[in-house]
Structures are given as structure tokens and as C-alpha cells.
Amino acid sequence: MEEVDHLAHERSMAQFDVETMKIVWAGSQHAFEVSDRISRLVASDPVFRKDDRTMLSRKDLFKNTLRKSAHAWKRIIELRLTDEEASRVRFFIDEPGFMDLHWGMFIPAIKGQGTEEQQKKWLPLAYKMQIIGCYAQTELGHGSNVQGLETTATFDPKTDEFIIHSPTLTSSKWWPGGLGKVSTHAMVYARLMTDGQDHGVHGFIVQIRSLDDHSPLPGITIGDIGMKFGNGAYNSMDNGVLRFDRVRIHRDHMMMRVSQVTREGKFMQSDVPRQLVYGTMVYVRQTIVSDASSALSRAVCIATRYSAVRRQFGSQDGEPETQVIDYKTQQNRLFPLLASAYAFRFVGEWLKWLYTDVTQRLEANDFSTLPEAHACTAGLKSLTTTATADGIEECRKLCGGHGYLCSSGLPELFAVYIPACTYEGDNIVLLLQVARFLMKTVAQLGSGKKPVGTTSYMGQVEQLMQCQCDVQRAEDWLKPSVILNAFQARAARMSVACAQNLSKFSSPEEGVAELSADLAEAAVAHCQLIVVTKFIEKLQQDIPGMGVKEQLEALCNIYALSLIHKYQGDFLANGCITSKQASLVSVQLRSLYSQVRPNAIALVDAFNYTDHFLGSVLGRYDGNVYPKLYEEAWKDPLNDSVVPDGYHEYIKPMLKQQLRTARL
């Protein structure tokens, strides 16, 4: 029987060219074609089935992930896929596994920190999967404070080797994905010791398992750290624990692009600037921001489609009940998240450009933009991952009770995503790094040194401290210059206020400790300004397609104005807007929601996600939710038998009053 598209009417209301919006979302025609082709390739392959993930035991889930990874690698070789296509295969399989760390952390670390000779030795093996690597930095006792790592790498000049050792329990490597059961090699971060002197943390490639039988090598204690949050979720990943008992590796296993140890045991810096290492960090954080837009857009797609299918209350004279998406309370919670997904997509695109720009500058020994780029990527990683984790949970609530079912896809998506708030930098720690950079920028304003890049607005700090918002009517809030001015004034005033308050303390360290909450808020204001600015700049480009630009303008305004509404305490307390202007924000938002409403389904269709990738009964493309929910329920193992296991032992005695009463 032919499936009916229950959302066909919604799609017919679209006021823009959806196919063009798909290309805008993908970033280019080429990117769209690659993603479209690879997503369908993955969806059509039965090996990549994932609807049973939440019902598998940990061992079965993990083995199934290994099967999928091996099959993916086989298909990549058979189809002679490019690196870009192979990356998309891993993305659309949508299952955390060792491949993520091998390609996403181990290989980039070799590229960023290894010499040419080291890259020639290790990269071919890694590219062919003849070795499998992980990134062993975090320890049981230290995560964010990398300089506090305790693992040691002591040089022995007699044998030309490093001795890798875990001197304490807290020095155990703890959390690296792929480490627990799969990786044969690890990029281990340890304190470099030569002749009794500590030279800080450096990277070393250490073989941890035999390439013959996969058993741990002598001196290696290794295993999985145990179950994590969620049912399937991140439990397909073998996050591991690793301890070293005086394991010896050859001297050339130290990553020596930036610093080296000679045969005689002398530590020396190479001609390559140490700052080059930051290039890898910018790259990794840029991919995290892109992943945030992907995860949030999935949740928004599910919640938007289900909100259009679900009807509740409002029936009169036998008419259908009201679609949940037509309630303003639903729009007020959902549409800012839809706008955020697009905003994060475009700031992620800009970060790709920034990474290329920073890399080219570093290679030309130009480090002028590096501190700003480092602060910017740290801040955006924090902002987007926090907003996405909160947004996925809000989408679950927007789907009511059915959102709590694993078959909705939202509990799994949430459980898989939330580690992003912690890995690659705890989000609060990152905000404080941004704040320190902002304080330095404010301190240098009087010296004549011009702020660069995303802090260039600080160059007009005197004007921003004085300016008044000139909004008279609600529609004035649609002017990009008005929005930018409000966000710039807020960010500048919060940073200056923090700098002034810090100056009252006898020591900077004491001030930062006491004012850390204020500093984090100032960093958020700065990062939100960056996202708003990049969305507005995107709209200044030539965007083809009927109605596409108009829809993006509406989303940009919803993103910016919903932030002003949510953070109006900041804007009012710092004198950026008046209470009357704040109330006009709400008026304009209601108008924008009405503008987006007929286009909502088409705007999530533009993400071009297959039903396989979404993994949600509620978010199905055809909107055929209720029959599929009913069908899905019967697949649960509990329904394998009509009478449950345990009936005769526990339920029947209760019903028949045959329980023995214990004597006290």
C-alpha cells in the first residue's frame, strides 16, 4: 500500500525554493550532492540499521559497532570514496565508535605535531587502518588542567628511549574513546623529563596492543571504564583506562615538530613555532561547532514535524483539533531553536574559513590573529554546545510524553550529544579563557593597539559606552544595524564593567576567582555577538532562490531578538535598551513567528535528513506517526511473550495470596 504524506499540505504552504535552501544549508552544490548521495547509500544498507540500538546489551551493542565500522571501511575501499565522502559515511552511520577518534584526533595530532619524517612513517599506516589510534590526554585526576597531567616520559640516554610511567592512580589515562578495547596505538600526553628536569606536557606515540593477537603489551594495563549515560547512546564507544608500568619507547616516538630531545638527552626547541599546535585545536573546535548545528537541526526537525502532526484541544463543531505548532507557546519555544540551528550552521562555515586563514598565517610566521582565533573558537565551542544540549532537551519536551520514548530519537540524541559540553574543553573553563582574552583586549585599548577580528568592535568602546538604542516601533528591530549596535553595546559594557571591577582587587588571580561568574557572562555576550554578526554577514552575500533570503532574514531576526528577550536583564542593566524597547522585541517576535509558521516544515526539510539518519518515529518525513509508534511498541523484547518471565515466581503468589510471611 502506498504511504500517504501527512505533511503534504504543510509543504505546499512553503513560500521559498526548498531545493535552493538545501544547497545553502549544505554550504555548496558540491557539498549537497555528496551528502545527499552518501546519506542515501548508508540508509539503504541493512548493516547500518540502528532502530534496535537501545535494546541491545552493552556487549552486543559494541560488537555491532565493530561490525558497522568494518563494513564501512570495506565499502569506502570498494567504492574508492574520497576523504570527504568517507567522512560523510562515518557521519551518517551515526554511531559513536573508535573511528571517530582515529580520524578526528589521532591523525590530526600526527599532522599537527609530527615532523615530516614522523608523518611519513605513521600517516600511511593510519590512513590504511593498519594501526588504529586514540588520543590519550585526559587522566583520572586531570581533564581541563592539561598542565597538571601526571603521566611521565623520562628519557634514558643509555638506551635512547623514553620510559612512559603512571606514577599514581590519578595519573591513569581515563576517558579516551577507542582506547578501552580497540586501539593499537595511542597519542599519549605526558610530562617530558630529561636529566631530572620537567619540560612540561608533550605527545608520544605508544603502541599499546600487539598487532598479532591484540593483547596488551608488557607494562600496559588497559580496559573500558564502564557504562555511560543513556541506553545505546555513547555506550557503543569503548572509552578506556590505561596505566603504564615503565613502558619503553624509542626516542623518535616523541612528536618532535615543535620541540625535540637529542640523542644525548638535550631538550631543544625546533625552528617551527610552538603556536602551530594551536592550528589543530582551531580545526577540532570548528568541527565541534559544525556538529552542534547538525545535532540541533536533527532535534528541531523531529520536534517541528511532530508539532505539525500532533493536534490537541480547540475543536469546535466537529472540526479537527488545533495543530500544536499553531500555539504561540510552542512557536515561542521551537522557532528560536530552528533559528539557532541555521545560525550555528553559518558560524560553523565561517570557522572553516578562519581555520584556513589561521593556518596560512601560521605558515608565514604571522601570529597576530592567533590569540583572537583561539579565544573565538573556544567561546563558540562553549556557546554552541551548551545551547544545543539544552535545545535537544527542549525539543524532547516540545514533543510531550511521546518525546520520552526511545523511538522518538530524542533521548538517544541527547545522551549522545551532551558529552560535547565537556570534551575538548569544559564549557565554563573555555568561557573564562575567552574572558581573560577580553580583559587583555580592554586593557590594551589605551595603548593604541587596535583590536582585531571578532573584537574589532572594542575599537569603538567610547561610543558604545554612550550610545542609545533608537528603536521607536517594533519593526525598527528588523534593522541589522540596530541589532548589531545593541549586541555590541552589551558586550562592550559587560567587558568594561568586569575590567573595572577586576582593577579593585589586589591581585588579578583573586579578582578572577571572585568575579568568575560575571566574566563568564561577559564571554557569552561576546560570543553571541559573533554568531549574530556572522548570520548578518551571511545575508549580505548573494543568495539565490525564490524567497530564500527572506526566510533567512526572518530566522536571523528571530535568533537575535529571542536572545535579547532571554537576556534582557543584561541589555536593561547595562543601559543598552529601555524597558519599552524590550517589550517591542516581544511584539516583533510574535510577528516573525507568524511569518515563519507556514514555512516551518519546508525549513526543516532543507536539512535533507533521511528517516534513517533522524532515527525518529515522531520525525518521519511522511508524518505517519501513530501507526508507526504502535508498530514500534510491539518490537520491544518485553512483548516477545504474552505472560512475562517472572509471573510464576512473583506475580502469581501475590495474586493468590501465597506469599510467605516472614517472622520478625
Active site residues: 424
Give 135's strand partners.
187
Residue 303: name the closest of 333, 269, 283 by CA.
Answer: 333
E strands, 345-502, in order? none
**Per-residue exposure over 411-441, b if at least 16 CB sit within 10 Å of its own CB, e if not:** bbbbbbbbbbbebbbebeebbbbbbbbbbeb
SS (H, E, C) 597-622: HHHHHHHHHCCCCCHHHHCCCCCCCC
* CA separation for the pair 72, 100 (Å, rounded): 13
* CA separation for the pair 300, 316 (Å, rounded): 30
Cα dihedral value 642, 643, 644, 646, nearest 10: -170
Q: Side-chain half-sphere of 615: how many Cα atoms within 13 Å?
A: 26
Residue 439: name the closest of 384, 383, 381, 509 by CA.
Answer: 509
Look up residue 323 and give its DSSP letter.
Answer: B
Q: Cell match 577580553: residue?
A: 438
- Tell the burial category of 273 from Cβ atoms under 10 Å away from its Cβ (0-12, 13-18, 19+): middle
38 CA to centre of own chain: 21
Where residue 646 falls (left for φ over 0; alpha for ψ -120 to 50; beta otherwise) is left
Residue 94: name the closest of 404, 417, 383 by CA.
Answer: 417
* CA separation for the pair 594, 250 (Å, rounded): 66
β-bridge pairing 161-165 and 197-207: unpaired
Beta carbons of 564 and 571 less than 8 angstroms apart:
yes
Look up residue 473 and give its DSSP letter.
Answer: S
Residue 144: name the closest of 382, 322, 348, 332 by CA.
Answer: 382
Q: Three cell numbers at 527? A: 560570543
Look up residue 106 and give its DSSP letter.
Answer: I
Instruction: Output phi, psi for 654, to 5 deg.
Output: -65, -50
Give 243's strand partners.
221
Give 134's strand partners.
186
Kindly report the number of other CB atoms within 10 A of residue 644's CB atom.
12
Q: Cell match 544595524: residue?
A: 481
Beta carbons of 632 and 55 less than 8 angstroms apart:
no
* CA separation for the pair 618, 323 (Å, rounded): 15
**Per-residue exposure over 470-480, b if at least 16 CB sit within 10 Å of its own CB, e if not:** ebeebeebbeb
Where residue 202 falls (left for φ over 0; alpha for ψ -120 to 50; beta otherwise) is beta
